[in-house]
Chain A
Amino acid sequence: MAPTAIYSPPRSSSVSDIPNPPLRGSALVIGSLSTAQSGQYQSILESLNYKELERQLVDRITDEAIALTPNKYSSIYVVLSSMDYESLSATMSTLLSNIFTALIPSGILYVWDAAHAYRNVFSDLTLAGFNVTSTTDGLLSAQKPSFAPGASISLKKTVKSKALSSSLPVADIASKKKALWAFTSPSTPPIDPESLLTPEDKARPTTCELVSESTPRRKRACKNCTCGLAELEEEERRDGKIVILDGAENGETVEILAHEKGSIAIKTTEKATSSCGNCFLGDAFRCASCPYLGLPAFKPGEKVEIDFDSDDI
């Protein structure tokens, strides 16, 4: 249940009807020297019954002496005086976005006595991301959205174009992002990233031109080859000659057709020779028609043993 907590307002900023919404978790009360002196701060503190209740003076936060923990509080109460709002006018928007970050989703912010002294309170709340749920002359409540699936808020427009922009320290935006980044809700469905692709993205490099034996080729046929390369490769494979060393004294070789292979097992145990001198070096140096292609490098005069059958699988 997301409490929208419509609090029926007291006529003045008295402390008689302090909102205690049935939210679990901890709460934070932010006061000031002046509300502490007037006693308003203490009486509000006393009237709240949360398991965990934290208190903080506003200037500790605005001076960045402490940082609020993101996603922690189910409610935050801001108990300030008109004087406070006036002196803090430059930093209120920052404070509100810090508070926004510190609230859990659906968490509620209560602000006392803002309406007169703090003119921009509504727009600043909205810019910080809140939905204002209830206002009276004394008390104002606003809720952090629960992030409905698919909904996203734009920090860019608010932060960059509006009041927060240049006056807001970079570190503040960063901490706000950190909080949003770290906040995970298991029920949030992922987006379908494919929906972001443009028609150009979905295209792939154009397929090849028709091949012939003489034209430069792609390296190999595509699986769904339509240009004829696959057939050509197959034909070459079938009709290609495999050279097999027959082990004759003079190093003579026999050529057999590839499809006949397999029925012949040959062991060359004679000393291998090379007329061009490159055969010994390995495939990187051998000519395209070298009889030793596919064999490891060997030393001149070394015996080369190949057993065709045992390799077959």
Chain B
Amino acid sequence: MTSESVAPDIVNERELLILYATETGYAYEVALRVANEAKRRYFSPNVQGMDEYPISSFITASVVVFIVSTTGSGTPPRQMSSSPLWQTLLRSDLPVSILDHLSYSVFGLGDSAYERFAWAAKILDRRLMSLGATAICQRGEGDEAGRFGIEEAFDPWIENLFGELLERSPLPEGKTIVPVNQLKPPRVRIRELDINDNDGAERVLRENERVLDSSDHNWVTLTVNKRITSPEWFQDVRHLEFDSQKILDYRPGDIAVINPISNSSDVSSLLDGLGWTEVVDKVFEISPAEDEPPLPETVPRYTTLRDLFTRHLDINLVPRRYFFSLLYHFASDPMEREKLEEFAGLEGQEDLYEYCIRFRRTIREVILEFKSVQIPKEYIFDIFPPLRPREFSIASSSKVHPTQIHLCIAIVQYKTKLRTPRKGVCTSYLAELDEGTRIPIKIRSGLLRPPESSADTPIICVAPGTGIAPIRALLEERVSEGKTENILYFGCRSFRHDHYYQNQWKDYASRGVLKYRVAFSREREDSSQSDQVKKDNIWKVYVQNLLEEDAQHVWEILGKKKGILYICGQKVVSLNHSRSSNKMPSAVKQAIEHAAVAGGDYTKETAKSFVKVLEKEGRLFEECWG
């Protein structure tokens, strides 16, 4: 026996694994574009979420392309940070050559307005390199703040990538690269079922249940849907309670995953606009088209257009370049077609930004404006992105409410230059949900964890606005366990209008189990201050101001007693779509540094290292969103 005679596993050298980690769906769209480019060059792409791809297969993959977005603070999207793949890559016991068989390339999406620009892509790239993997071409870094958005970096990156890949695996004999303006074949095949509407509805219902049952959902009933901001306040924030009638097992910091349902009149208007009024409830069977990978488990095999567009496809995302590169093929009016094609080209990116992205115009609104567009049903999975489940921090402790899940969510609604207000799909769905409705909720673990030790480790929680959600879970649990070393810094605008759970905090404080500090950032505005005072905002108090005031005590807890710091909430407070530059987590960290100087023996110069110490010792938890 000679080793030469042993054939290695048959590897299709044209196979191209594309892993994405997306927060808003943009990185997913970019991944589809890479797949499309791959197909034009006769590669077989396989697009998968970083959290979906089986980790055991990764070690045998030979070429992988990563498309990774970055959240504002520089943390990777959850699809990366919580993926077993990323956690494995971070293991310190991996041999430095374990990936020396792997060729890869990373494209990162970022916004250079943030300091940690494209951070997730950078750390992924460096980690792969440090494990011996070979970069096929230089990392691409798309900058949303750039003149052409991410496109400026994307085009050269994709050219380099496929230049190299074709060098290794040239085009098959006699083939040339498929022209860019040739419409790709559709993703799915559709077969109409000859079945009457009643049986059809039943079939679709059963199929949706089957799809749901394949994942580990808890069926829960909405028992409370209460607005907790005052009726006259501009923002609608809800306290929701769900009951499952059985014991739920979750910990403080865990996340509730909810599948949104699109607004029915939005769905109808789109389907009417596409000329499908007569067939919205016709049942059909979907299967992957030839040479296409299997469909995700979450996609029903038997469905109707109404069902797909209500539960499975997103019609409210803001469309990007890829969407237009497909859509223009389906416009019959020459002027519309030309305009759509423009948005698909590099030169059209500035116009596209003005038209869609800046004012958050949705896929549905675009299609309704381009009235000549007729989409063949086979292409709906190419044009419409999947409706992603949304995640919310659980606001209750399962020790206190064993069968319940509480949520505290801000209903997303804001105005742009477009006359119709923009609405969050999932929060609008939840806001309109009637008490008594049963919905499936999945539970997954979050970034935040209660102290490991059973001793009463002191904690400081900083939670402005709806950042209070995971902190309420944590405090409820600690109080139920008899732990009393709890400090809460809550921040809101007004004593009366958005002071969430104030009775609970006051009750805890009076029982001596919580030190409650609250910062009102707009409280004095309606009082009789002079205009000058209002203008100068001198009455605005934020959580970081209170932390600075309490510097000695903060040091006592974090420096001397080795307590734990939790920071939760929205990073950038946006009001009336002008982005305020108030970056909450960094302001809070500065206040902590201040405490290290005031109480400990840190100097202004070395204080930053104290926050690093907290991070290193696992004494700083951050759950913040953009």
Which residues from chain A sit less than 8 Å from chain B, CB to CB?
A: 63-64, 147, 149-157, 159-160, 167-171, 173-174, 177-178, 180-185, 188-191, 193-194, 196-198, 201, 204-205, 207, 216, 218-220, 222-224, 234, 237, 281-285, 293-297, 306, 311-313
Residues of A within 8 Å of B115, CB to CB, are 204
25 A-B pairs within 8 Å (CB atoms) are namely A63-B1, A149-B93, A154-B97, A156-B100, A178-B60, A180-B95, A181-B88, A181-B94, A184-B91, A189-B92, A190-B90, A191-B90, A196-B123, A197-B126, A205-B146, A207-B112, A218-B145, A219-B353, A220-B358, A223-B114, A283-B355, A283-B369, A296-B419, A297-B369, A311-B420
Q: Looking at the assembled complex, report how far the CB atom of B42 sits from the nearest CB atom of chain A, in whole angstroms.
A: 25
Q: Evaluate contact between A223 and B572: CB separation under 8 angstroms.
A: yes
CB of A293 within 8 A of CB of B417, answer yes
Decide if B3 touches A167 in the complex (CB within 8 Å).
Answer: yes
A-B contact count (CB 8 A): 174
Question: What's the minimum C-beta distance from B526 to chain A, rounded to whole angstroms?
Answer: 18
Residues of B within 8 A of A154 (CB): 95-97
Nearest A residue to B422, CB-CB: A313
Report yes or no: A223 in contact with B581, Cβ–Cβ below 8 A. yes
With both chains docked as a complex, state the minimum distance between the C-beta of A191 and any C-beta of chain B, in angstroms: 5
Lowest 8 A-B CB distances belong to which pairs?
A156-B97, A282-B369, A204-B117, A222-B113, A196-B126, A190-B90, A193-B123, A147-B93
B127 on interface, CB distance cutoff 8 Å: yes
CB closest residue in chain B, given A159: B97
Interface centre among A170, A219, A281 (most CB of B within 10 A): A219
Is A219 a contact partner of B97 (Cβ separation < 8 A)?
no
- Minimum CB–CB distance for B387 against chain A, Å: 23
Question: Do residues B355 and A220 form an inter-chain contact, with CB atoms below 8 A?
Answer: no
Whether a CB of chain A sits under 8 angstroms from the CB of B210 is no
Known: A155-B98, A223-B572. 8 other contacts (CB 8 A): A147-B93, A156-B97, A173-B101, A178-B60, A205-B145, A219-B358, A281-B369, A294-B359
Known: A154-B95, A178-B60. A295 touches B88 (CB 8 A): no
Of the candidates A154, A188, A198, A223, the one having the most CB atoms from chain B within 10 angstroms of its own CB is A223
- Residue positions of B touching A, CB distance < 8 A: 1, 3, 6, 8-9, 55-56, 58-60, 87-88, 90-98, 100-101, 110, 112-115, 117-118, 122-124, 126-127, 129-130, 132, 143, 145-147, 149, 234, 335, 339, 343, 350, 353, 355, 358-359, 361, 365-366, 368-371, 413-415, 417-421, 572, 578-579, 581, 583
What is the bound-complex CA distance between A174 and B353, given in angstroms? 47
Chain A residues positioned under 8 Å from B234 (CB to CB): 313
With A181-B98, A311-B421 already in contact, the answer to whether A188 and B93 are too (CB < 8 A) is yes
Q: In the complex, how many angstroms separate the beta carbon of A118 from the nearest chain B beta carbon?
A: 21
With A and B bound together, what is the CA distance between A178 and B95 in angstroms? 12
In the assembled complex, how far is the CB of residue A165 from the closest CB belonging to chain B, in whole angstroms? 11
The answer, among A151, A159, A311, for a CB contact under 8 Å with B415, is A311
Q: How far is the CA of A281 from the CA of B353 in the complex (A)?
A: 18
CA distance A204 to B74 in the complex (A): 12
> Could you say which residues of chain A place their CB within 8 Å of the CB of B147?
216, 218-219
Contacts of A204 in B (CB 8 A): 110, 112, 114-115, 117-118
Most A CB contacts (10 A, CB to CB) among B92, B130, B350, B365 go to B92
Closest to A129 in B: B95
Q: Quick one: given A188-B92, A284-B355, A295-B419, are A170 and B59 in contact (CB under 8 Å)?
A: no
Cβ-neighbour of B361 out of A171, A174, A193, A283 (below 8 A): A283
Q: Roughly how many angstroms separate A310 CA and B126 CA in the complex, as a whole number?
A: 51
Residues of chain B contacted by A216 (CB below 8 angstroms): 147
Distance between Cα atoms of A162 and B454 in the complex (Å): 51
Give the complex CA separation of A63 and B3 in angstroms. Answer: 10
State whether B92 touches A190 (Cβ < 8 A): yes
CB-nearest residue of chain A to B576: A313
A223 CB contact (under 8 Å) in B6, B58, B343, B579: B579
Question: How close is A143's CB to chain B, nearest CB, in angstroms?
Answer: 16
* B418 close to A294 (CB less than 8 A): yes
Contact A196 B581 (CB under 8 A): no
- Most chain B CB within 10 A, of A155, A156, A168, A177, is at A177
For B419, the chain A residues whose CB sits under 8 A away are 294-296, 306, 311
Known interface pairs A168-B3, A313-B415; A296-B369 also in contact (CB < 8 Å)? yes
B75 to chain A, nearest CB (A): 11
Contact A282 B581 (CB under 8 A): no
Q: What is the CB-to-nearest-CB distance from B145 to chain A, in angstroms, rounded to a whole number?
A: 6
C-alpha spacing A193/B123, complex, angstroms: 6
Complex Cα spacing A219 to B233, Å: 32
Partner of B581, one of A207, A219, A224, A237: A224
Indicate which residue in A219, A293, A306 contacts B350 across the interface (CB closer than 8 Å): A219
Which residues from B are CB-within-8-Å of A295?
Answer: 419
**Residue pair B370, A171 in contact (C-beta under 8 Å):** no
Least CB distance from B3 to A in Å reads: 4
- Smallest Cβ-Cβ distance to A166: which chain B residue: B3
A207 to B113, CA, bound (A): 8
* Complex alpha-carbon distance, A311 and B234, angstroms: 12
Expressed in whole angstroms, the minimum distance between the Cβ of A90 and any Cβ of chain B is 10
Chain A positions within 8 Å of B114 at CB level: 204, 223
A150, A190, A284, A313: which contacts B413 (Cβ < 8 A)?
A313
Q: CB-CB < 8 A to B369: which residues of A? A: 281-284, 296-297
Q: Which residues of A contact B124 (CB under 8 A)?
A: 193
Task: Collect the chain B residues with CB atoms within 8 Å of residue A294's CB.
Answer: 359, 417-419
CA distance A182 to B370 in the complex (A): 52
Question: Complex: how many Å from CA A38 to CA B123?
Answer: 58
How many angstroms from the CA of A151 to the CA of B355 in the assembled complex?
53
Contacting pair A197 B123 (CB below 8 A): yes
A155 vs chain B, min Cβ distance (A): 4
In Å, the complex CA distance between A197 and B74 comes to 13
Question: How far is it, in angstroms, between the C-alpha of A234 and the C-alpha of B577 when the chains are bound?
Answer: 12
Residue ID in chain B nearest A292 by CB atoms: B419
* Chain B residues with CB under 8 A of A296: 365, 368-369, 419-420
Task: Please name the residue on chain A nearest to B339 by beta carbon.
Answer: A284
Neighbouring B residues of A196 by C-beta, 8 Å: 123, 126-127, 129-130
A residues less than 8 Å from B91 (CB atoms): 184, 188, 190-191
Contact B122 A197, beta carbon cutoff 8 Å = yes
Identify the closest chain B residue to A282 (Cβ): B369
Contacts of A160 in B (CB 8 A): 97, 100
Residue in A closest to B131 when the chains form the complex, CB atoms: A152
Does the CB pair A156–B96 fall under 8 Å?
yes
Residue of B nearest to A190 (CB): B90
- Do B98 and A180 touch across chains, with their CB atoms under 8 A apart? yes
The answer, among A64, A156, A188, A297, for a CB contact under 8 Å with B368, is: A297
A-side contacts of B415, CB under 8 Å: 311-313
Complex Cα distance A86/B439, Å? Answer: 70
A167 to B1, alpha carbons, bound, how many Å?
12
Chain A contacts for B579, CB-based, 8 A: 223
> When the two chains form their complex, are residues B93 and A185 in contact, meaning their CB atoms are under 8 A apart?
yes
The chain B residue sitting closest to A194, CB to CB, is: B123
Q: How far is the CA of A181 from the CA of B87 in the complex (A)?
A: 11
- Residue in A149, A153, A197 whose beta carbon sits within 8 Å of that of B95 in the complex: A153
Cβ contact within 8 Å between B112 and A205: yes
What distance in Å separates the Cβ of A222 from its nearest Cβ neighbour in chain B?
4
Instruction: Return the chain A residue nearest B76 by Cβ.
Output: A193
Contact in complex: B94, A180 (CB < 8 Å): yes
Chain B residue nearest to A150 in the complex (CB): B92
Residue pair A178, B59 in contact (C-beta under 8 Å): yes
Complex-state Cα separation, A118 to B45, whole angstroms: 49
User: By the criterion CB–CB under 8 Å, are A313 and B414 in contact?
Assistant: yes
Q: Which residues of B contact A194 (CB under 8 A)?
A: 123
Does B420 contact A222, Cβ atoms closer than 8 Å?
Answer: no
Least CB distance from A204 to B in Å reads 4
User: Taking the nearest CB of chain B, how far is it from the CB of A261, in angstroms?
Assistant: 11
Which residues of A have CB within 8 Å of B112?
204-205, 207, 222
Chain A nearest CB from B2 CB (Å) reads: 9
Residue of A nearest to B616 (CB): A192
- Residue from A160, A174, A193, A283 whose CB has the most chain B CB atoms within 10 Å: A193
Chain B residue contacts of A182, Cβ below 8 A: 56, 59
The CA-CA distance from A196 to B132 in the complex, in Å, is 13
